[in-house]
Structure 1
Amino acid sequence: MRQGSGGHGAAIRIRVAGGFLLVAHLLFVGWLTLRPLDVPYVSAANLQPFAGIKADLALGPGEAARHLGSGMLLLAPLGVLLPLAGGRLDVSPVASLTRTVAAGALLSLGIELLQTGVPGQVVDVDSLLLNTVGVALAHLAVVPAARARLRRCRSTGRAVAGPREDIPQGSTPTIPRVGIAP
C-alpha cells in the first residue's frame, strides 16, 4: 500500500483537516470574543455561578433559549474538532470526553480571563459553564459514532477517503546502480 492511500493516508488527511478547521474556529472565536466593543454602558462582571442563567430563564423561554443556546454553541465545535485533530481511533470514550471537556473548559477560562482587559467585554462565569457544556454535548453527539464508523471501515478494509483510493498504481521504479568514475 502506498503512502497517502488506505487507512494511513486517510488518517493523515483527517488530522490535517481537523487541525485546519480547529485553527480557523479558534481564530473566529478569538475575533468574536476578544474584540473591543464601543458600548455606552457595560454591566458588572458576573462571578456568581448560575446567576446569569437564572436571569436568562426569567426572560421567558424564547429569550432564554437564545441566550443559553448561543453560550453553548460558541465553543461546541471544539467537542468534535479537538478529537478530529488528535486523530486517535482506539481510545477510551471516557478518556476522550474528559480530555476534550477539560481542554474546552481551559480555552473558555482563557477567553474569560483575556476579556478582563478588553473594553466593552464582560467576564461571566456562566459563559464558562455554558461553553463547557456545549463542548461536552457536541463531543457526545458526534465523536463516539464517528469513531465507531471509522473503526468499522478500517477493519473491513474499506476506504474512508473516497474515490481516489481506487486508482491503480504501477510498479515502483528502480534506480540502476552507477559505479564511481576512475
Structure 2
Amino acid sequence: MLRVHGQLHCNGCMHLADEGKKDTNVKKVMDIWLLQMGYPVVTLSRDGNTVHAEQTRFIMDPNEEPNDKNYDMGYLWYVPVTYTDQSSMNFTDPVETWMDRGPADFNIPASDDDWYLVNINQNGFYRVKYEDANLDKLATYLKEKDHKTIPVRTRSQLLEDAFSIANAHQMDQVYSIYSKSRFHKMSKTQNK
C-alpha cells in the first residue's frame, strides 16, 4: 500500500516540478515517506474562508513510543492536500496545495454555512480529521441533498477516516456522524 501511495506522491512531485510550479526535490520529499514509520493525520479547523491544517503521526495506540531508527525526522511529512467545497464541488480537478512538513493554511470560497472536503478521492496517504461543525454540515448534506454528487471514494474515505480516528481513541468524529444520523432517523420516526 505504501508503494502505491508513495507512487502517487512521487508522481505529484514530479508533475509539479515538470510544470515549474514548485521547486520540488523529489528525493527529499520521498525520503520522508519511505524512511520513517507511519503516515500523518491532518487535523483541520476553519476560520471564515481560511482552513488551517496541522499534521501529526497517526497511530492506533496514543501511548506508543517511536521505535524506528528515523524518529529524528519528527514524524512530519510533505503532504499533497487536495480540497473542494460545497460551492465548487470540484472532484475531478480539485485545488491542490502542499503541507511542507508542518502546518498550512488554504482558502475556500464557500460561505460559512457550506462544508469542505480534503483528500479528494483519497489520492493522498493520510487520514483527515475534520472539526465537528464541518462534519455536521457534511452529514446534513449527505442526508438531505443528493449524496451521489460526492464521489463514492470520497464518501467512503470520510467514514473510513472517522472510524479509524475513533479507533485511535479520538471519539469526537464518530460521535458527530452518529449523533447527526441518529437525530435524522428520530425526526423521521416522530414525523410519521
Instruction: Report TM bin, short chain.
Output: under 0.3
Higher strand share: 2
Q: Give TM-score, length-normalised by structure 1.
A: 0.24
Q: Flag the structure with larger Rg.
A: 1
Q: Give TM-score, length-normalised by structure 2.
A: 0.24
